[in-house]
Structure 1
Amino acid sequence: MTERGFWHGRSGLVVPALLAAWTTYLLVGVLTMEVPEGTDFPGPRFFPNILIVAGYALCALLVLHYLRSPEPVDTDHGDPTDPGTARWRTFTDWRAVAWCVGGFLVFALTIEVLGWIVAAAVLFWCVARGIGSTRALFDATLALVVSSAIYLAFAQGLGLNLPAGFLLGGM
């Protein structure tokens, strides 16, 4: 039996490392944010602080998981030169990646023109398609309801301005 190193089966630690880097970036942004005097609660730091706490908590839980139970590594891949016998434990669903990345690009490029409600609905719909949903009309309806609710929560509840787009006379 061969001795395996610490990293054997722990490649999943890359995910919490990336999440910790993003969360730290967000923390630096919050700490350097200029907040005017007399800003009412909850203020512009409230939601980012929730994300920071959740991000670090999720990082800790993921690290603990991968340290306590490393993923088993499939060492029997068959003959790599013979496609009939080669067996791989994981694969990438490029169709799903394309739907999700494409949806995000459409969102990022059209949010000013379409506004939050429509652009976010398109993003949500594309992600639903990417993860395998085949109910296009239901997904579109749900996406519009969710994006509208988020718009109302941010615009009315928190007093933040999200792009209105053509629906609300913006542009």
Structure 2
Amino acid sequence: MSENTSRRPDRAALLIALGLVVIGAVIAWSTYNAGGPRGYSPVGPKTVPFVIASVLVILGIFTAIAGMRGDFPEREHHDPKPILWILGGLVIQMLSMKTVGFSIATGLLFALVAKGFGRGPLWMTIPIGIVFSFVIWFIFAKGLQLSLPAGPLERLI
């Protein structure tokens, strides 16, 4: 492509820019309307959220400028199947955590994320994920005395 040829505005970049500005505005609005003690110092608990909101809005503006100029490189085609495996694992974990417990639900998440990354068959990754998740549950629930959802596997201990 020659230097004189101008690219069309990148709609995906403009959509990302809009999302950044909206998220920044929501954070700023929420922080502004949040109650809390007013102190003598201008720096307080609302300072960091306002800084984050400002940075997001500024990033959104720069992203919009780059999108209007067409400065973003061409993107590769993406296969949606791995993302669907990962999202499916997250949905299964969220829906089954209270009924089957942390170890089994997180083990299923592990297996589906591994499948999304193209690793191992499910018959192998599900038990591996459950064992790893049980070890994590044991460390957090018994060692650190933190409360994680317990299912039939955790109730054996």
> For this structure pair, what is the TM-score category when the shorter chain's length is used for normalisation?
0.5 to 0.7
- Residues 1:153 and 2:131 aligned together: no
Change (3 A) 1:71 1:143: farther
Tell me how far apart the structure 1 counterparts of residues 117 and 96 of structure 2 sit (CA, whole Å). 22
Tell me how far apart the structure 2 counterparts of residues 71 and 157 of structure 1 sit (CA, whole Å). 49
The answer as to whether partners of 2:106 and 2:133 remain within 8 angstroms in 1 is yes
Equivalence for 1:132: 118
Q: Which amino acid aligns with 1:96?
A: P
- Consecutive unaligned residues of structure 2, counting only runs of 5 or more, are 32-51, 53-58, 64-70
TM-score normalised over the length of structure 1: 0.49
The answer as to whether partners of 2:114 and 2:125 remain within 8 angstroms in 1 is yes
Q: Could you report, residue by residue, the CA deviation over 1:48-78 in whole angstroms, capped at 9, with x for unpaired residues?
A: xxxxxxxx9xxxxxx8xxx9xx7533xxxxx
Pairs aligned (count): 120
Q: Which amino acid aligns with 1:125?
A: A
TM-score normalised over the length of structure 2: 0.53
Q: Highest CA radius of gyration, 1 or 2?
A: 2
Q: What is the RMSD of the two structures over their aligned residues, measured on CA atoms?
A: 4.3
- Consecutive unaligned residues of structure 1, counting only runs of 5 or more, are 29-55, 57-62, 74-88
Larger helix percent: 2
- Give the % identical residues: 29
Give the Å deviation of 1:2.
4.9
Greater RCO (Cα-Cα under 8 Å, separation 6 or more):
2
- Residues 1:93 and 2:79 aligned together: yes
